[in-house]
Amino acid sequence: MTAAPGTPLLRLRDVRKTYNAGTAVATEVLHGIDLEVAEGEFVALIGPSGSGKSTLLNIIGLLEPMSSGEYLLQGQSVAQLSDAELTQRRGRLLGFVFQFHHLLPAFSALENVLMPQLIERGRLSAGDRAHGQALLAKVGLAAAVHKKPSELSGGMQQRVAIARSLSFGCPLVLADEPTGNLDTQTADEVFALMRRFNADDGVAFVVVTHDPRLAARCDRVIELVDGRIAGGPTPAPGAPP
């Protein structure tokens, strides 16, 4: 599904998340989030530990449901989608990069990049393999196609993870502390790589980071404090009021 021209890539309205709802220990961790992200935008999500960043990212990533509110992804509400429909949209529209790369040790770099296709179809075509090799070349790992994760440095493994997040050509990548486990130079290289995919291919990124240097290099910085966005609603650039 493609959104109408001018429609934000994602839009959240009054999104709340409560754990243990209906019990004496119910805890609301997100308190009415209003947020929009435009196609091709590169957004930093910052805030202290416990502010709700990972919970918000999980909701955007369709990994856990919101308790109330509205979430539109490419203009379509996700609230009424079946589990199968959520899985399909998660796989096709959203890429994920985490602090720890979560590569499968028994598979090569190429097979890890193409794991989404392998899971969906059960096999890899020659076209899939050519596509995966092209992605690895684009992240500077053309010579590592057949290497296992244990043969790669931490920065190289994160490059494989970035390539994997883009293997289906998704319009949005969600990155949760993608440089948090890397030294400063490698972190800068990985961040520059994400920005290159953003600039060259128009892929939007929402990046959770504790690194103020990296946040300052994003198009927009959104700060979460105690489950609320500091400063109020954050519309996408060019969105109508």
The whole-number pLDDT of residue 180 equals 76
Neighbour-count burial for 34-64, b at 16+ CB within 10 Å, e otherwise:
bbbbbbbbbbbbbbeeebbbbbbbbbbbbee
pLDDT at 122: 78
The domain locations on the chain are 10-229
pLDDT of the residue at 61: 92
The tokens describing 70, both together, are 């509205």
Q: In what order do the strands lie in the sheet with 228-229?
A: 94-98, 172-176, 204-208, 42-46, 220-225, 228-229
Contacts of 3 (CB under 8 A, 6+ apart): 9, 39, 74, 75, 76
The low-confidence residues of the chain, meaning pLDDT below 50, are: 1-5, 241
Tell me the pLDDT tens digit for each residue of 160-194: 988 888 888 889 999 988 877 778 888 888 888 88
* Per-residue pLDDT tens digits for 68-88: 999 999 988 998 888 888 888
CA distances from 81 to 21, 69, 191, 226 (A): 22, 15, 33, 29
Q: What is the pTM of this model?
A: 0.85
Residue 63: name the closest of 111, 96, 37 by CA: 96
Query: For residue 154, what are its two tokens?
Result: 């931490």
Using a pLDDT cut of 70, give the percent of the chain over it: 91
Phi-psi region of 200 (alpha: psi -120 to 50; beta: other; left: phi over 0): alpha
Max Cα–Cα distance, the chain, nearest Å: 56
Is the CATH number of domain 10-229 3.40.50.300?
Answer: yes
CB-based contact 6:237 (threshold 8 Å): no
Nearest to 15 by CA among 76, 74, 57, 49: 57
